[in-house]
Structure 1
Amino acid sequence: MNPKIDDRVPVLIVGGSLVGLSTSLFLGRLGVRHLVVERHSGTSVHPRGRGNNVRTMELFRTAGAEPLIREAASVLAENHGILQVGTLTGGPQEWLFKEIDPGGALARFSPSGWCLCSQNDLEPVLLRCARDLGGDVRFGTELLSFEQDADGVTAVVQDRRSGELRTVRADYLVAADGPRSPVRERLGIGQEGPGDLFHNVSVTFRAKRMADAVGDRRFIVCYLTDPEGEGALLPVDNEADWVFHMPWHPDRGETLDDFTDERCIRHIRAAAGIPDMEVEITGRAPWHAAERVAERYGWGRVFLAGDSAHEMSPTGAFGSNTGIQDAHNLAWKLAAVLGGWAGPGLLDSYEAERRPVAVATSARASARSAEHQHPGYDVTPGTGRRGNVLGVVLGYRYPSGALVGADPAEPVLPERFRQSGEPGTRAPHQWCFRYGTRLSTLDLYERSMVLLSGPTGQAWHEAGARAASAAGVPLDRYLVGGGPDHDLAPEPGADWAELHGTAADGAVLVRPDGFVAWRSPSAAADPERVLGEALRSVLGLD
């Protein structure tokens, strides 16, 4: 007997934290109806996960949320760099780095920038934006069970306050339900990697005199190395509210009950170097740094995203950013398949693309924790290495997946970042004018495939319309150049073709997530055939 269905949606999202809410935002932008269920009663109340890298902010820019996020993050807008000291008032002092973007060099590569917005400030913004787009987000609602068949997923969810049970029928399920993911466990998907690295207790507190100890050092995080005050200090408002990460050693028999107010206050005073400082403990939460990646990114019509798919050391904030970028990669593919302009096989590329990125990035995050000597991480000195962060953030590539012409021999994370326009890489940023309005080429990529043709690439431009029509694929086309017949005019002195690795008569096909799907360095004898083959291959229409 078939169960009574209470809710029918194309996509059910399990988990309403950063990644789940980002998935909701991205699907909402693409017009995909969905339901989010989150077992907790509301958004996060703990200030954590604050580092939003430039790639993540590019995605929020395209989704229209960037201004609101920067407004929510304004109190930390002047905080930069990572400091290491003995105590705040004594001992050695070293800036591991002092500026996130020294000299403003990042503006060459992106229309966005880094943003410090703590999870408790970011999640309400994402929730507001998601609901404004029609997202059905239900807090205090827990997934109890699910089953999938050839046509969809049937799930039972429960309102934790009333006890009411509802049956949800969805075409697809996205599990953004955290590192202990019940969905992943139910699917029987294992994990690979070194496992647990270290443990901390995150203590929130109020101390007005802490600002005096900090002075004018506006850091993102400060590592304290004195044994009596070892840990990491993070500002919440640069004045009275702060967070302190204290090392926790459960392997030595320590329990959370050992972290009494008295112990925490004593530890924080030692870190500040002010023995009589008044400290009010306002909260504590344990967290675990680990390096694990799921063996698979889903099964059938169920997909893993964020911490359910990968765990990373927090140093560098790679974990949350990788999770948000998982959501963006998956959202456009779900929209394309549900919209009928891509084959179901496109969804196989989600794991093919995102899992190698997680494996490489999680290893880099662990190395960065070693490099920074993160409190509580007992590793051999010299284990870490100074890697190129921009290569991780903007330079990661997909060796295979929904692409044509990517080089599988190239590393997922390059040693140095460069914009190349190669298939499998993030499309280059370039400022252009369209009908007198200045925009980044990255602003063009969200809802459809996009074809950019060089100044003398009219043949590609015209063939694109015919190839897309024949394949039933939405395609936006732009002829790039300075003439009256061109759609985009690069800023004076900029060479679009050189930046994208083509001649003036070449073309580049870009996916809705802003990654290059295919490129032709020059003209072709039969551009309609070549483009048609590329579209069908990328979108799984063959």
Structure 2
Amino acid sequence: MASTEEDRVPVLIVGGSLVGLSTSLFLGRLGIDHLLVERHAGTSHHPRGRGNNVRTMELYRNAGVEHLIREAASVLADNHGILQAGSLTGDDQEWLFRQIDPGGELSRLSPSGWCLCSQNDLEPVLLDAALELGADIRFGTELVSFEQDEEGVSALVRNRETGVAHTVRADYLVAADGPRSPVREQLGIGHTGQGDLFHNVSITFRAKELADVVGDRRFIVCYLTNPESSGALLPVDNQEHWVFHAPWRPGDGETLEDFTDERCTALIRTATGAPDLEVHVTGKAPWHAAERIAERYGSDRVFLAGDSAHEMSPTGAFGSNTGIQDAHNLAWKLAAVLEGWAGPALLETYEAERRPVALATAERASARSAEHQHPGYDVSPGTGRRPGMMAMVLGYRYTAGAVCGAPADAEAVPQEFRPSAEPGKRAPHMWLKQRQGERMSTLDLYAKYPVLLVGPDGGAWYSAGRRLAEETGLPLECYRVGRGADDELAPDAEDADWARLHGVADDGAVLVRPDGFVAWRSESATADPDGVLAQVLDTVLSLR
């Protein structure tokens, strides 16, 4: 059944899971009208995708929902570390790591921290926040087809309950429609990578007595290695509700029907070492670990984000975090182009920046699965030095794209993480005080528009930025950081040095993008700050 109704929106989002809802939230925060369609009737009911890393939580902090997510995740707030054990009742037990942030060192690097919030708890928070910002979100609605031209995208969407279809006309389409993305397939975009890695069946179950078996071991996940029943055990509430990931081998002829309630119960009892455990299976969901990266991140006015652009092994929760960070990168660029303060070519930098990060991250996720001996993944971990977790999470950089002065030959992910304001890197965190005395992180400054920060002797840069903004209408925010009467911001700690942390002299300047990545910096003053700054902004924002 067709309808003559037509919606006109700047952005159409296809897919309403974590990445699609995050895209909606980020666009809404930037004031961009959009429509999101999701074929399922509501948010996820399955406890999965729980690991939200510190960079993702910084983005949610910026969007004003970090505290709400932590409230939703409070039941797992004390769970840390990954345990590997022959069973929960034997002596063969080893912590692969005990604490996510041993010693509390992360507080020096970020105003945020890691958060365990399962997808079924996180998605409702994102949904409510996006709706409060004015998002038009329609569940039970699927994309039927789309066509694009030089002016925009025409998409046919259908209500799955009524069968009524109508047209949506959008300037841009964001496909967050999963690993089997129909949008990607219609665009004819292929993959690189290893392909399928292993298969699991996720079994949700109730077992009140299991809390007594687990005791005070508050793990994120426990890899159980009994050769008769290996698997991964995850707490949902540390009391009654649990998840067990059991290896599934469809290549050997094993079917989902083989995972009866009786078999699942036996697998859980054997793996945990509790033969008399009372188990009530409440659900089963197959999932596939893969390493695939789209050869392109879109075509013209259509962009891929999340699993439609990349699939990664779940170990380390890299996939969902990378997808949410895709959404954040794309959202500010869409907003800048739609509002007219950046040129359309800025959107081409999305693939240039995000795809190299996905390639490096997917490779690291696969290696981590081997290192942790993830059930069902029978691959040697190999040898050789690999980037550490903080390098993967906070250290990745953009060597090409909307940056000036980034080294083109640098790796997307370094071996180690060091806070830096080098172009292409995430701007470092430092606690600041406003004139009114309010405490904030430097990262809180990077919200909607480009930000120019200058040192205590950087008045020439500051004046140039203010003139440029006034003369061109460019929404450039300028701040002086120092301890003088005219400085808007001051380091909160007496021994903190903004210039040293950012790698500039007191008369230097740093330009930071709305996503918190350094676009450019000048280590000191120059004879023509107006001309230099204008040229940099033209390049970064694709204005010419």
Answer yes or no: same fold by TM over 0.5.
Answer: yes
SS of alignment partner, residue 375 of structure 2: coil
Q: How does 1:177-196 map to 2 (within 5 A)?
A: 177-196=177-196
- Cα distance in 2 for residues equivalent to 1:311 and 1:506: 41
Question: What do the CA deviations read for 1:53-72 (whole angstroms, capped 9, x no partner)?
Answer: 00000000000000100000
Residue 471 (structure 1) shift: 4.0
**C-alpha contact 2:364 2:386 (8 A) present in aligned 1:** no
SS of alignment partner, residue 332 of structure 2: helix
Residue 94 (structure 1) shift: 0.5
Q: How does 1:182-261 map to 2 (within 5 A)?
A: 182-261=182-261
Residue number in structure 2 paired with 1:497: 499
Question: What do the CA deviations read for 1:318-341 (whole angstroms, capped 9, x no partner)?
Answer: 000000000000000000000000
- Cα distance in 1 for residues equivalent to 2:510 and 2:203: 50
**C-alpha contact 1:47 1:118 (8 A) present in aligned 2:** yes
Question: What do the CA deviations read for 1:476-515 (whole angstroms, capped 9, x no partner)?
Answer: 1100000110010002110000100100000000000000
Q: Which amino acid aligns with 1:496?
A: W
Question: What do the CA deviations read for 1:62-106 (whole angstroms, capped 9, x no partner)?
Answer: 000001000000000000000000001014110000000001000
Residue 383 (structure 1) shift: 5.6
Question: What do the CA deviations read for 1:134-171 (whole angstroms, capped 9, x no partner)?
Answer: 00110000000000000000000000001111100000
* Alignment CA distance shift 1:381-1:446 (3 Å): closer
Q: Which amino acid aligns with 2:230?
A: E
Residue number in structure 2 paired with 1:126: 126
- Cα distance in 2 for residues equivalent to 1:342 and 1:468: 13
Residue 411 (structure 1) shift: 1.0
Residue 227 (structure 1) shift: 1.5
Q: Which amino acid aligns with 2:360?
A: A
SS of alignment partner, residue 12 of structure 1: strand
- Cα distance in 2 for residues equivalent to 1:528 and 1:470: 11
- Cα distance in 1 for residues equivalent to 2:167 and 2:468: 42
SS of alignment partner, residue 6 of structure 1: strand
- Cα distance in 1 for residues equivalent to 2:208 and 2:335: 49
- Cα distance in 2 for residues equivalent to 1:240 and 1:125: 23
Q: How does 1:274-293 map to 2 (within 5 A)?
A: 274-293=274-293
- Cα distance in 2 for residues equivalent to 1:274 and 1:338: 59
Q: How does 1:347-366 map to 2 (within 5 A)?
A: 347-366=347-366
Q: Which ranges in structure 2 are unaligned for 5 or more consecutive residues?
A: none
- The reply on whether 1:524 has 2:529 as its aligned counterpart is no
**C-alpha contact 2:367 2:381 (8 A) present in aligned 1:** no
TM-score by length of 2: 0.98
**C-alpha contact 1:468 1:532 (8 A) present in aligned 2:** no
Residue number in structure 1 paired with 2:148: 148
SS of alignment partner, residue 90 of structure 1: coil
- Cα distance in 1 for residues equivalent to 2:385 and 2:133: 43
SS of alignment partner, residue 92 of structure 2: strand
- Cα distance in 1 for residues equivalent to 2:209 and 2:374: 25
Q: Which amino acid aligns with 2:229?
A: G
Q: Which amino acid aligns with 2:286?
A: P
- The reply on whether 1:447 has 2:448 as its aligned counterpart is yes
- Cα distance in 1 for residues equivalent to 2:13 and 2:342: 21
Residue number in structure 1 paired with 2:299: 299
SS of alignment partner, residue 121 of structure 2: helix
Q: Which amino acid aligns with 2:466?
A: A
SS of alignment partner, residue 111 of structure 1: coil
SS of alignment partner, residue 233 of structure 1: strand
Residue 526 (structure 1) shift: 0.5
Residue 420 (structure 1) shift: 1.2
**C-alpha contact 2:386 2:415 (8 A) present in aligned 1:** no
- Cα distance in 1 for residues equivalent to 2:479 and 2:229: 58
- Cα distance in 2 for residues equivalent to 1:381 and 1:455: 50
* Alignment CA distance shift 1:369-1:406 (3 Å): same
SS of alignment partner, residue 233 of structure 2: strand
Residue number in structure 1 paired with 2:380: 380
- Cα distance in 1 for residues equivalent to 2:396 and 2:282: 39
- The reply on whether 1:66 has 2:66 as its aligned counterpart is yes
Residue number in structure 1 paired with 2:25: 25
- Cα distance in 1 for residues equivalent to 2:384 and 2:326: 26
**C-alpha contact 2:387 2:413 (8 A) present in aligned 1:** no
SS of alignment partner, residue 355 of structure 1: helix
- Cα distance in 2 for residues equivalent to 1:373 and 1:104: 28
Q: Which amino acid aligns with 2:500?
A: E
Residue number in structure 2 paired with 1:538: 540
SS of alignment partner, residue 142 of structure 2: strand
Tell me the percent identity.
Answer: 72
- Cα distance in 1 for residues equivalent to 2:443 and 2:535: 25
- Cα distance in 2 for residues equivalent to 1:299 and 1:440: 37
Residue 467 (structure 1) shift: 2.2
Q: Which amino acid aligns with 2:33?
A: R
Question: What do the CA deviations read for 1:391-438 (whole angstroms, capped 9, x no partner)?
Answer: 000000001000100011111111110111000000000000012000
- Cα distance in 1 for residues equivalent to 2:267 and 2:99: 28
Q: How does 1:51-62 map to 2 (within 5 A)?
A: 51-62=51-62
Residue number in structure 1 paired with 2:401: 401
Residue number in structure 2 paired with 1:317: 317
Question: What do the CA deviations read for 1:151-205 (whole angstroms, capped 9, x no partner)?
Answer: 0000000000011111000000000000000000000000111100000000000
After TM superposition, which residue ranges in structure 1, 4 or more long, deviate above 4 angstroms?
A: 383-386
Question: What do the CA deviations read for 1:288-311 (whole angstroms, capped 9, x no partner)?
Answer: 000000000000100000000000
- Cα distance in 2 for residues equivalent to 1:508 and 1:519: 4
**C-alpha contact 1:471 1:532 (8 A) present in aligned 2:** no
- Cα distance in 1 for residues equivalent to 2:330 and 2:387: 28
Residue 452 (structure 1) shift: 0.1
Q: Which amino acid aligns with 2:533?
A: L
- Cα distance in 2 for residues equivalent to 1:382 and 1:183: 36
**C-alpha contact 1:248 1:376 (8 A) present in aligned 2:** yes
- Cα distance in 2 for residues equivalent to 1:137 and 1:429: 34
- The reply on whether 1:515 has 2:488 as its aligned counterpart is no
Residue 385 (structure 1) shift: 6.0
Residue 272 (structure 1) shift: 1.7
Q: How does 1:95-174 map to 2 (within 5 A)?
A: 95-174=95-174
Residue 466 (structure 1) shift: 1.6
Q: Which amino acid aligns with 1:187?
A: L
Residue number in structure 1 paired with 2:464: 463
- Cα distance in 2 for residues equivalent to 1:263 and 1:68: 38
**C-alpha contact 1:195 1:291 (8 A) present in aligned 2:** yes
**C-alpha contact 1:471 1:535 (8 A) present in aligned 2:** no
**C-alpha contact 2:387 2:414 (8 A) present in aligned 1:** no
**What is the aligned length?**
540
SS of alignment partner, residue 432 of structure 2: strand
SS of alignment partner, residue 365 of structure 1: helix
- Cα distance in 2 for residues equivalent to 1:420 and 1:128: 35
- Cα distance in 1 for residues equivalent to 2:514 and 2:420: 18
- Cα distance in 1 for residues equivalent to 2:345 and 2:387: 35
- CA root-mean-square deviation: 1.0
Residue 6 (structure 1) shift: 1.4
**C-alpha contact 1:87 1:229 (8 A) present in aligned 2:** no
**C-alpha contact 1:467 1:529 (8 A) present in aligned 2:** no
